[in-house]
Amino acid sequence: MTELTIGVDIGGTNILAGVVTPTGEIVATTRRATDPSDPTQIEEAVAEAVAELMASYEVAGVGVAAAGFVSADRRKLLFAPNIAWRDHPLADRLEALIGHPVVIENDANAAAWAEYRFGNGAGTTEMVMLTLGTGLGGAVISNGQLVRGAFGAAAELGHVKIVPDGHVCGCGQRGCWEAYASGTALARAAQRFAYEYIPAAKTMLDQAAGQPLTGAHVGAAARLGDPAALGLLAEFGRWLGYGMATLTAVTDPEVFVIGGGITTAAGDLILPTAREHYLANLSGRGYRGEPAILTAKLANNAGIIGAADSARTPAAQPVHA
């Protein structure tokens, strides 16, 4: 019986699929462009990518990672913020197209599971992962299992409220952590700064070259030593550390693993400040263990590795090998 599985990571504008071994090695990949406004096209693109890989490899199952609330049995997309999936039987629909067993996993959960099994969470039993991208994704592993909650929507860490009546979040609520520590939040802070202090924002605006300021422009300006950009990243780190300290009061992890595009682009500029403010806000410091804070090892491949590994454990709660 084959031990290979396929992992599929559904992004906003494309999907990445790969054949993965039981040790987390990717042996083949393929990519498809997708239209987030057309859920049927996304499903067809997933099926095409899987069919391409299955033409060369015999696989036992398929795991699909997607942003949104996934049912506890990993069969439905209950709610997706960027795709029109609402209480959607995604596993059933993909199985009909693919002809192989499919499990659905939240994208942050999939990335966390990959880091836990094969990355910088390996060897622990209590881990929190944060993914700093357009939003702030999160996942919690406790006692060697992904924490899913009663309805499958646990560990939406970006929507922990940290500022009463604070900035509006994309979820429609106010004061969510994501509204202060995400790529969207960093871009908004940069745009606000540039509007108020145009001369001081010159380096960032030069990086943008006439386009709206993004987190990538802030990071590029910071690497040139721009004080305004460095200040924005320091503020980002402050909010990141503050939220991590709050999470520690609930989860008490051995390690925080920090991934996502913002981490890749500017993690070395953000995490020192995050550590500083994390420790400053950690209750009981000096009388409790302090978790390590590490960057993710598997980078952009974590989604397909975690999804593929989840496909090997069809029960709702994966168990660490």
The DSSP result for 152-186, as a single string, is: S-TT-GGGSB-STT-SBPTTS-BSBGGGTSSHHHH
Report DSSP state, residue 203.
H
By the 8 A CB rule, do 101 and 95 touch?
yes
Q: What is the pLDDT of residue 320?
A: 41
SS3 77: strand
SS3 106: strand
Going from the N-terminus, what domains does the chain have, and what CATH number goes with each? Answer: 5-113+301-310 (3.30.420.40), 124-296 (3.30.420.40)
Q: What is the pLDDT averaged over residues 247-264? A: 94
DSSP per residue, 289-314:
---EEEE-SSGGGHHHHHHHHHTT--
On average, the pLDDT of the chain sits at 92
Q: What are phi and psi of 220, to 5 degrees?
A: -65, -40
Q: Which two tokens stand for residue 265?
A: 């682009």
Most confident of the following: 32-46, 169-183, 225-239:
225-239
Q: What is the pLDDT averaged over residues 180-193? A: 95
Q: What is the pLDDT of residue 321?
A: 39
Mean pLDDT lowest among 17-21, 232-236, 285-289: 285-289
Output the CA–CA distances (angstroms, integers) from residue 57 to 9, 28, 51, 61, 95, in the order listed.
18, 9, 10, 11, 18
Per-residue pLDDT reduced to its tens digit, 117-158: 999 999 999 999 999 988 898 999 999 999 988 888 889 899
Per-residue pLDDT reduced to its tens digit, 223-246: 999 999 999 999 999 999 999 999
Per-residue pLDDT reduced to its tens digit, 266-281: 999 999 999 999 999 9
List helix spans (H) across the chain. 39-54, 90-98, 107-118, 183-196, 202-208, 215-223, 227-251, 261-281, 302-310
Question: Could you tell me the pLDDT band of residue 96, with boundaries at 50, 70 and 90?
Answer: very high
Output the CA–CA distances (angstroms, integers) from residue 243 to 69, 247, 300, 315, in the order listed.
21, 6, 24, 31
Q: What is the pLDDT of residue 149?
A: 87
SS3 118: helix
End-to-end CA, the chain: 19
Question: Could you tell me the pLDDT band of residue 1, with boundaries at 50, 70 and 90?
Answer: low
* Beta carbons within 8 Å of 123's beta carbon, 6+ residues apart: none
